[in-house]
Amino acid sequence: MIQYAGIALFVFGIYGLFVNRNVIKIIVSINVMEIGLNIFIISIGYVTGSSLAPIVSSTEDLGLVYVDPLPQALVLTAIVIGVGTTAIALVVAKMIHSQYHTFDLDEIEESV
Amino acid sequence: MKKLVGFVVSLALALVIILTLNESALFPAFGEVDLAERISSQYFNLAQFEAVGSANIVTAILAGYRGLDTLGEVTVLFISSIGVAFIMAEQTRKRIELDYKANFMLRTGSRLIVSLILVTSFYIILHGHLSPGGGFPGGTMIASAILLLYLADEEFRSNIRGFKILESLAGTFIVVTGLLGLIFASAFLENFLPSGTIGELVSGGIIPIIYILIGLKVGSEISGIIDHFLSEEETV
Amino acid sequence: MNTILLIVIPLLAAFIALVAKKGAPYLLLGAGLFNIVLLFFLDTGFTFIGGFDQAMTSDLLGIALYLDTYAKIALWLVNTLIVVIALLNFKAYKQYGSVLLLSMAGLNGLLLTNDLFNFFVFLEIASIAAYLITVSNRKFTDTFHYIVMGILGGSLFLFGVTILYAMTGSLNMIVIASELETNGQYQDVILPFIFIFIGLGVEVKLLPFNSWVKGVLASSNTFSGPMIASVYAAAMSFAMGRLLTNLLVFEGALLTVVMTLLIIGVVAGDLMAFSTSKTREILLFSSIAQASLIALLFVQGIVIWAVYLIIVNALSKLVMFLVINKATHAIGSDEIKRMKGLFVNNKFVGLMFTLATLSIMGLPLFAGFVIKLNFLTSLASLGQTMVLIIILGASLVESIYFVRLLVRLWYPGEETLDMKYSNPFKFVFAAVALILLVLGTYTTPLYELDDNIDQVSEEVIHG
């Protein structure tokens, strides 16, 4: 179920990239796409029957069944990278606004 | 027209992904994962566990086994922060005027809450190897405290110069810790401090040190980004 | 001396350059020269970060870096070109010192790493550095388009890597490839391979996602033009080659689809270069066509000639973009009719530009001819006659538009153009032309290196 949700969000984001002409909405669509991707990545680590987060308090607990910690580490990195690229995109959007006084790509193409 | 094309392409993409992954023999169904087939089972190995010494296995992966990825991630934030400052270089003389004015409750309450947020963030950074959290969420919480200060007071500007120095120093020390691993042990980012007992605050070798540095770095970078977004050029 | 220093020293210099702003260009030159010298002393082989598990088995715990002849060539080329471009633009673009340092660190990591997620992280570092470099054009809508395409490509790449991890349980290129060989059917891996190919293809300028190239390079200057068209093109093509030889295997219907996409890329690039009247657009469409051609050679397994084509392309495009962009900056426009007779007063530079162009066209006496001859014969021996004919046709179109460009630039028009190139530029042009001539006539190093690269890749696949 959650994997379907992740894929659906990913595809929503891509649809948003096709359709939107407002710069800020494009950035929001990219973020939705990245959220969908992150949910999908976490979901491949789930192990049914265990509800244990991979925190091992002592060496006797090593034999229990934990969920997969590696996708969680990958998602931490992917989220931070998403934040970095969104910051750059927003700054460029701000410069577009100060140059053309609009956020709409169609209006910008007409005025050039 | 473009909407229709976009809709059809996106729907087709979703169907292709779902059908291919359902049919695939190698791709496991949701939840039916056998950890023994993946490298993650090695992380729970007794010898590895005691060598690295962190109770939180995700932290052990982030700062221990895959430390180079974390260094790369920190670099991504660093280059974003430089990029924001760089692109908006001429335009950061004074604060932007927002449409709302902070009322009395916000101004007084924020001072109390900022201290609470800062204490919580330091707790989360320090306990990264014992409980979920670590440098990245902690650093972001520091930045959210700074954002609250910005919103509560329209004249407030944090000390950007100080944040830059902190950011640069923290980054340099992370790389230096890795290089010390190269000098004292045999590989970059190798653990050259003793691992200690699992579950204690002082354990895990270089992992707490790296996480504290990451937390400070992330906090100062995002605070810098917030400041640049909330300022504009000096209009005479 | 450890391989990791190639990545870490530029990174350290970038952190220090944040507070020592005045010293940033000098730190850049220092780090670049250090890397170039260090490459002479490094041994080939694996380096394991963190010291975890020294065997390339499915129990590999950490991240491995792999240095072989292929990576050494790539690293030398990329680092030298970054230092050269930084030196040429020392005065005009001084504030880009730390951006170039991070670009150097990101590209070095991309070429060295053997771990797919690490590849994604370094790809993002290099991409963000590229976005910042294109800001020097001051065309923010084009930069924004590049950013959106780049993020989309990165996300598709990560999607593919995730599916491969779920299937095989490891993130290392070589471990995944061996697991798929023993355990998998080809049906399962078509989807992740396509995602990875398209995801990286955005940066390599392949169809379908190369719409950003026109915006970014059509308004480039002497800094962003050579960086994107020469340095980034070379590094991304080398990285794509690494993935195509070690991990991605195309068979059957998928192979046909990929080959069709690449051939359309070559033909479309050359046709669009033929039909435009702006010099920068001619160069950028030629770059797109060459990038698709290089990817095609890698897919067919003709590794060594693809490597040489990357090197020769990077050097030639460096010269061509520098010449044209400097002229555009002085004249104010890049229409061909405004640039007529550019070389009448700049005979030396004109000669160097002509030599670089003739090399790309593939005339005898130049390195381009030897390379073209050899990869065409390899394609013929693989039985790909249809591809051979199409590439020959595209080369014909390419010769026509390049000759047309040269003729217009040499013969004087109505106005005499009065611009001069400074001596450092002329020195770089001469050095590149010399390399192209030497490699074209004395071809033994090319064939010797051929055997060297084959040996190393054998050891990797079966060792």
Q: Which residue of B has its CA nearest to C121?
A: B72
* C139 is a domain residue: no
Residue among B44, B217, B211, B213 at smallest CA distance from B128: B211
Q: How many CA atoms are closer than 13 Å to the CA of B205, on its beta-carbon side? A: 25
A83 touches chain B (CB under 8 A): yes
User: How far away is chain A from the Cα of B200, in angstroms, using its nearest Cα?
Assistant: 10
- Domain count across chain A: 1
pLDDT above 70 covers a percentage of chain B that reads 97
Domain that holds residue C452: 314-463
Question: Is residue B8 one of the residues assigned to a domain?
Answer: no
CA distance A62 to chain C (A): 18
- For B203, list phi and psi in degrees, rounded to 5: -155, 175
A30/C131 CB distance under 8 A? no
Give me the average pLDDT of each 10-residue run along chain C (463 residues): 86 89 87 89 81 68 85 91 89 86 93 92 95 91 93 95 90 86 82 92 86 87 89 93 87 87 90 88 90 90 86 89 86 79 80 86 79 85 85 88 86 73 82 81 68 57 49
pLDDT (0 to 100) of residue A90: 94
* Residue A38 falls inside a structural domain: yes
**With contacts defined as CB-CB under 8 Å, which chain B residues touch C62?**
65-66
pLDDT tens digits, one per residue of C230-241: 999 999 999 999
pLDDT at A96: 92
Q: Let me know if A19 is exposed, middle or buried by CB neighbors in 10 A (0-12, 13-18, 19+).
A: middle
Assess if residue C333 is contained within a domain.
yes
Cβ–Cβ contacts within 10 Å for residue B57, how many?
Answer: 28
For residue B100, count CB atoms less than 10 angstroms from its CB and return exposed for 0-12, middle for 13-18, buried for 19 or more. exposed
Q: What is the reported pLDDT for A85?
A: 95
Q: Give C404-427 as a DSSP string.
A: HHHHHHHS--SSPP-----HHHHH
Is residue B123 in some structural domain?
yes
pLDDT at C460: 53
Note the pLDDT of residue C461. Answer: 55
Report how far residue B54's alpha carbon sits from residue A55's, in angstroms, rounded to the nearest whole number. Answer: 9
Is there a contact between C135 and B37 if contact means CB atoms under 8 Å apart?
no
How far apart CA B216 and CA B34 sit, in angstroms, is 38
d(CA C95, CA C89): 10
Beta carbons of B24 and C188 less than 8 angstroms apart = yes
Give just the sign of the alpha carbon dihedral A64, A70, A75, A77.
positive
> Is residue A55 domain-resident?
no
Q: Which residues between 14 and 73 in chain A have a beta carbon less than 8 angstroms from any beta carbon of chain B? A: 14-15, 18-19, 43-48, 53-59, 62, 65-66, 68-70, 72-73
C416 falls within a domain:
yes
pLDDT score for A40: 94
The SS3 of residue C353 is helix
The number of distinct structural domains making up chain B is 1
Q: B76 and A84 in contact by Cβ < 8 A?
A: yes
Q: What is the pLDDT of residues A9-65, one digit of tens each?
A: 999 999 999 899 999 999 999 999 999 999 999 998 888 877 778 887 777 777 778
Chain B touched by C363 (CB under 8 Å): no
Three-state secondary-structure class, residue C247:
coil
Q: Which of A79, C2, C154 is nearest to B136 (CA)?
A: A79
Peptide bond preceding B208: is omega within 30 degrees of 0, i.e. cis? no
Determine whether the interchain pair C51/B185 forms a contact, defined as Cβ–Cβ distance below 8 Å.
yes
Contact by Cβ (8 Å): C70, C456: yes
CB contact under 8 Å between B49 and A1, yes or no, is: no
Residues in B touching C117 (Cβ below 8 Å): 66, 69
CATH code: domain of residue A80: 1.10.287.3510
pLDDT of amino acid B100: 79
Shortest distance, CA B22 to any CA of chain A (angstroms): 11
Query: What's the structural domain count of chain C?
Result: 1
In angstroms, the first-to-last Cα distance of chain A is 47
pLDDT of residue B73: 92
Nearest to B193 by CA among B48, B46, B51: B51
Note the pLDDT of residue C54.
62
Q: For residue B33, is it within any domain?
A: no
Residue A16 falls inside a structural domain: yes
pLDDT one-digit tens code per residue, B169-222: 999 999 998 888 888 877 777 777 777 777 777 777 788 888 999 999 999 999
Task: Copy the structure tokens of residue B129.
Answer: 């190897």
Expressed as residue numbers, the domain containing B134 is 54-232
Chain B residues in contact with A7 (beta carbon < 8 A)? 14, 17-18
Task: Kindly list the residues from chain A whose CB atom is less than 8 angstroms away from the CB atom of residue C60.
Answer: none
Neighbouring subunits of B (3+ Cβ pairs under 8 A):
A, C
- List beta partners, residue C46: C66
Distance of residue A42 Cα from the nearest chain B Cα, in angstroms:
11
Cβ A44–C159 below 8 Å, yes or no? no
Is B154's pLDDT higher than 80? no
**Cβ atoms within 10 Å, residue B204:** 29
Q: Among all chains, which residue has been given the structure tokens 């005339």?
A: C363
Q: How far apart are CA B78 and CA B84, in angstroms?
A: 10
As a whole number, mean pLDDT of residues B103-108 equals: 86
Task: List the domain range (segments joined by +) for residue A29.
Answer: 2-48+60-111
Chain C residue set in contact with A, beta carbons under 8 Å: 117, 121, 124, 128, 131-132, 135, 140-141, 143-144, 147-148, 150-152, 154-155, 158-159, 162, 165-166, 171
Q: What is the pTM of this model?
A: 0.94
Task: Examine residue B132 and state whether it is found in any structural domain, yes or no.
Answer: yes
ipTM score here? Answer: 0.95
- At which residue do the structure tokens 């790296």 appear? B210
DSSP 8-state assignment for residue C137: G
Is the distance from CB of C64 to CB of C115 less than 8 angstroms? yes
Q: Is residue A53 part of a domain?
A: no
